Amino acid sequence: MKSGTWLLRLALLLLFLGLLFGFLASFAYRLSDAKSEFIGFLTLRPLHVTSAYFGVVVGGLACVTFALQKETIKPLSYNLLNIHLSLWLIALVGIFYSYFTGDFGGREYWEFKPIWALPILISYFIFLLFYLKNAGSYKKWPVYKWMWFTGLVFFAFIFIENYLWIFPYFKEHLITDMTLQWKVNGSIVGAINQMIYGLAFYLMVKISGDEKMGQSKLAFAMYFLGLFNLMFNWGHHIYILPTDRYIHHISYIVSMTEWIILLRIFYNWNQQLMENRTHYYFFPYRFLMAADYWVMINLAIALLMSIPAFNLYTHGTQITVAHAMGTTIGINTMIVLAGAFYFIKPTFDSIKALKRMTFVFWSSQIALLLFLITLTGMGIQRALWQAGISEGVFGQMMLRSRPWMIGFIITGTILFVSLACVVLYLLFYSFRQRARFRLFKSI
């Protein structure tokens, strides 16, 4: 299936570029002039964010396409897929060209001009049509198909909401404008999570061979809890805005319901440890296992950040960045990589090659943990300074953060190399699925 394969290749390429630009940005962050030449932080940051963000989104869409291909007996609507892929390519070429030429015109996390958002939006409606034509009767949908459907619908809706700022009414009302902007940045992540977590459910069902798992009451209960959070959890992003207090209170209560998910993860911990002995060398399961552990860590951080007293100090610091990157890399990227391993089905030439990939896998997990710790350390330093607890001017605060910054660069380098090895291995193997591939023998 050429369109689905090329969609997955595009996702892997975007993930690699996200890693590369993030690696370069970690060095550029130390420069006194953020605008210095091409490698300036102000240029590299949107390149990094856009590549990583869209890598996860396109990766999820590609894996959904492969899943539909496996589950349907009729030919898929390839014309729709080709149009969908073409629109993504048009948007990405335009976005990267505008970044490279310094032609910015968007908002935070979406710093490209709104004109390049149009092909992305159209591509989503086309993919939604493709999905509905090939997903079968909704009466028989397992939980992951419902998650994919609601993820697609809500992403399109929130994506439109994201660009209401181009209308004069919203530009003229600052609080409304900021509320919408921060609300979108929170809720659109929930829409993406519906699609990515649906992929995780799909992989767990297929790996275990237990189809009933996708129809269980517990699975649907967790789905509705996630959908509930998607629609109402965004309020904790706007604690510092002077909006109606009931929005903050509802948001806080919704955030706290996520403890149910955390408790469920702990409950399954011992059972998962037993399963690890059976599935450990199956890489799709291994990356799912990693994502599960990162869910637990990042959910604990998110719940603390949802408490207004903590949010007041952590907002706008590297602690927020650590949570965002932990979620994007530790959870979403790991699930996309699990899906890529499952659908590409790479083989290893020898036990030695398998051990090398195992080493790369664990290097990436340890590096990510240390990377997030250094970001959190920098965030604590900044939070203390913002609260007036730490004395001195901004430059002195940055000097105190220097050891954390050095650790940030070192661990970021290890993370870049290890994850890049995995992504490039999958990317190159997708071009040579029927050939024996010896990438790691040259390492």
Name the residue with higher pLDDT: 318 or 7.
Answer: 7
DSSP per position, 262-273: HHHHHHTHHHHH
- What pLDDT sits at residue 434? 46
Helix orientation angle between 143-161 and 174-208, rounded to the nearest 10 degrees: 160
| Residue positions counted in the chain | 443
Q: What average pLDDT does this structure show over 32-57?
A: 78
Residue 160 has pLDDT above 50, yes or no: yes
Q: How far is CA 330 from CA 66, 183, 295, 382, in A?
A: 23, 23, 8, 24
Helix (H, G, I), strand (E, B), or coil: what is residue 72?
coil
φ, ψ for residue 211, nearest 5 deg: -65, -25
CB within 8 A of 311, min separation 6: which ones? 236, 239, 240, 305
- What pLDDT sits at residue 370? 95
Residue 246 has pLDDT above 80, yes or no: no
- Reference 202, options 77, 70, 76; nearest CA is 70
Name the residue with higher pLDDT: 74 or 254.
Answer: 254
- Under the banding of pLDDT at 50, 70 and 90, the label for residue 441 is very low
Reported pTM: 0.89
Distance CA 143, CA 131 (A): 15
- Under the banding of pLDDT at 50, 70 and 90, the label for residue 159 is very high
Give the residue carrying structure tokens 């965030």.
379
Residue 31 has pLDDT above 60, yes or no: no
Residue 89 has pLDDT above 90, yes or no: yes
Give the residue carrying structure tokens 């040579």.
432
- Under the banding of pLDDT at 50, 70 and 90, the label for residue 442 is very low
- Under the banding of pLDDT at 50, 70 and 90, the label for residue 154 is very high
Both tokens of 373, joined, read 């710790």
- Lowest average pLDDT, out of 19-33, 37-51, 112-126, 361-375, goes to 19-33
Distance CA 24, CA 412 (A): 10
Residue 37 has pLDDT above 70, yes or no: no
Residue 329 has pLDDT above 60, yes or no: yes
Q: What percent of the chain has pLDDT over 90?
A: 34
- What pLDDT sits at residue 271? 63
Distance CA 203, CA 213 (A): 11
CA end-to-end span of the chain, whole Å?
A: 32
Distance CA 152, CA 225 (A): 17
- What pLDDT sits at residue 268? 64
Name the residue with higher pLDDT: 368 or 103.
Answer: 368
- What pLDDT sits at residue 90? 96
Residue 52 has pLDDT above 50, yes or no: yes
Residue 336 has pLDDT above 80, yes or no: yes
- What pLDDT sits at residue 380? 87
- Reference 237, options 321, 309, 301, 181; nearest CA is 181
Alpha helices in 114-236 (DSSP H): 117-134, 143-161, 168-171, 174-208, 217-232
- Reference 317, options 383, 221, 272; nearest CA is 383
- What pLDDT sits at residue 348? 75
Distance CA 366, CA 119 (A): 38
Q: What average pLDDT does this structure show over 211-218?
A: 82
